[in-house]
């Protein structure tokens, strides 16, 4: 059954919230557990639709998976299937990271092209090109990828673009490869560092995550391991934006400040006061935010594309004109149409949005068309005058655990029906 949020705007977001584990970290780490053939205990796993889909995939592949609250215990010691069911892959793009894990563990894989949010073309050619350099034989036919790798050998691989998914797939596929693999122009996102840390805990030899070059020395076997997922910087940024959109005051616990710097910088530029005390981050927002000249999405450590939509929602009510340039995905302004229905003044030309801030937005009937766009419309509804009805909130479930309940505890008037 489809659900919707009903939001009565005008309430400040105040209080304390703990940030849970990062979705974009837990998914590749779940895939990585396949490599060990042992038991892995993963703490701070968010309860999200995408995470549950990945758990379902692991079970179908032959893994034993048990969830105890936010801890997930995965035993991959049994027989592992090499074919990932199409119906599950099409629900979640991140399932493509299973390719590298299955190649590493069972030396072959069969998977269809992945699904997920429709935010523009996200080709996996960089994944496949890197895997081929490791010795993987690949055949693509009718939307399905067949891979075989009887003898993986380390290679010097240069990525044309610092793709997160390609970096993760090549990293997982190279753990058991003979010799040394170097991934040049690797993605630097914090989630790559978290994957490296987990792999090293279970006995891999990986170094360089967070730099341009990642080095993997092949090993013959792995061990049991226990790991805690890093905090979700995008969820943290979204709650910070909720406080900023309503003139509120919020304390965020379980935060990695270094990972948050690109988001913190823009919110400060918009007039928010942000400081750190006793391990927590505090944000206090003015009654009206200031516009910023330009926000440009870039691979980490640039401004994250996943925060583009929430920031556009904030700038819709900021004083002055702002320009948002989306360099990562070409179809990621679908939330703009709904913001305009709420009174925003936004003009989109290709990958550029010009946002002329209005003093107020008005509640309207709108639709979540993807995960982050849906979160942006929640933010707009919190600060709008009147009632906002947001349909298709299942998209939001993919990346935010009970966002409406957390917002209620922080003072918002939001219900799910």
Supply angle C-alpha 305, 379, 291, rounded to 5. 65
Q: How far apart are CA 312 and CA 244, in angstroms?
A: 12
CA-based torsion, 75, 81, 84, 87: positive or negative: negative
117 carries an active-site annotation? yes
- Annotated catalytic residue within 63, 112, 117, 272: 117
* 243: CB partners within 8 A, 6+ apart: 13, 14, 249, 250, 283, 284, 285
Eight-class DSSP state of 300: T
Look at residues 188, 178, 182 and name the one whose alpha carbon lies nearest to residue 170.
182
Write out the DSSP string of 240-290: HHHHHHTT-EEEEES--TGGGHHHHHHHHHTT-EEEEETTEEEEE--SSPB
Q: How far apart are CA 94 and CA 96, in angstroms?
A: 5
Tell me if 414 sits within 8 A of 408, measured CB to CB: yes
Eight-class DSSP state of 21: B
Token digits for 65? 């998976």
Residue positions annotated with a catalytic role: 117
């Amino acid at each position: 059954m489809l659900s919707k949020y009903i939001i009565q705007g005008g309430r400040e977001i105040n209080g304390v919230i703990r940030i849970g584990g990062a979705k974009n970290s837990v998914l590749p780490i779940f895939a990585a557990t396949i490599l060990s053939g042992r038991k892995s205990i993963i703490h701070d796993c968010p309860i999200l639709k995408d995470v549950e889909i990945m758990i379902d995939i692991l079970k179908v592949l032959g893994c034993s998976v048990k969830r105890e609250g936010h801890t997930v215990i995965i035993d991959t010691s049994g027989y592992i299937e090499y074919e990932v069911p199409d119906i599950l892959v099409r629900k979640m793009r991140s399932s493509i990271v299973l390719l590298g894990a299955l190649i590493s563990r069972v030396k072959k894989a069969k998977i269809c092209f992945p699904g997920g949010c429709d935010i523009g073309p996200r080709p996996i050619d960089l994944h496949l090109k890197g895997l081929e350099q490791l010795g993987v034989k690949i055949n693509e036919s009718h939307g399905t990828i067949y891979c075989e790798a009887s003898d993986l050998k380390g290679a010097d691989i240069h990525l044309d673009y610092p793709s997160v998914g390609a970096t993760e797939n090549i990293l997982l596929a190279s753990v058991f490869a003979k010799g040394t693999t170097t991934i040049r122009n690797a993605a630097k996102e914090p989630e790559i560092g978290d994957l490296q840390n987990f792999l090293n805990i279970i006995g891999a030899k990986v170094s360089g995550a967070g730099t341009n070059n990642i080095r993997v020395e092949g090993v013959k076997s792995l061990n049991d391991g226990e790991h805690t997922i890093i905090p979700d910087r995008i969820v943290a940024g979204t709650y910070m934006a909720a406080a900023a959109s309503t003139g509120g005051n919020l304390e965020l616990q379980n935060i990695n400040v270094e990972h948050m710097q690109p988001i913190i910088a823009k919110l400060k530029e918009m007039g928010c006061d942000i400081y750190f005390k006793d391990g927590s981050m505090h944000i206090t927002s003015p009654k009206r935010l200031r516009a910023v000249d330009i926000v440009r999405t870039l691979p980490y450590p640039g401004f994250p594309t996943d925060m583009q939509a929430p920031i556009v929602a904030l700038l819709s009510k900021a004083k002055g004109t702002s320009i948002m340039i989306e360099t990562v995905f070409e179809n990621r302004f679908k939330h703009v149409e709904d913001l305009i229905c709420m009174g925003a003044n936004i003009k989109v030309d290709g990958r550029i949005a010009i946002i002329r801030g209005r003093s107020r937005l008005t509640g309207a009937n709108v639709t979540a068309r993807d995960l982050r766009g849906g979160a942006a419309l929640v933010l707009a509804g919190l600060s709008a005058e009147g009632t906002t009805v947001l349909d298709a909130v299942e998209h939001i479930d993919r990346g935010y655990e009970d966002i409406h309940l957390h917002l209620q505890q922080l003072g918002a008037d939001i219900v799910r029906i």
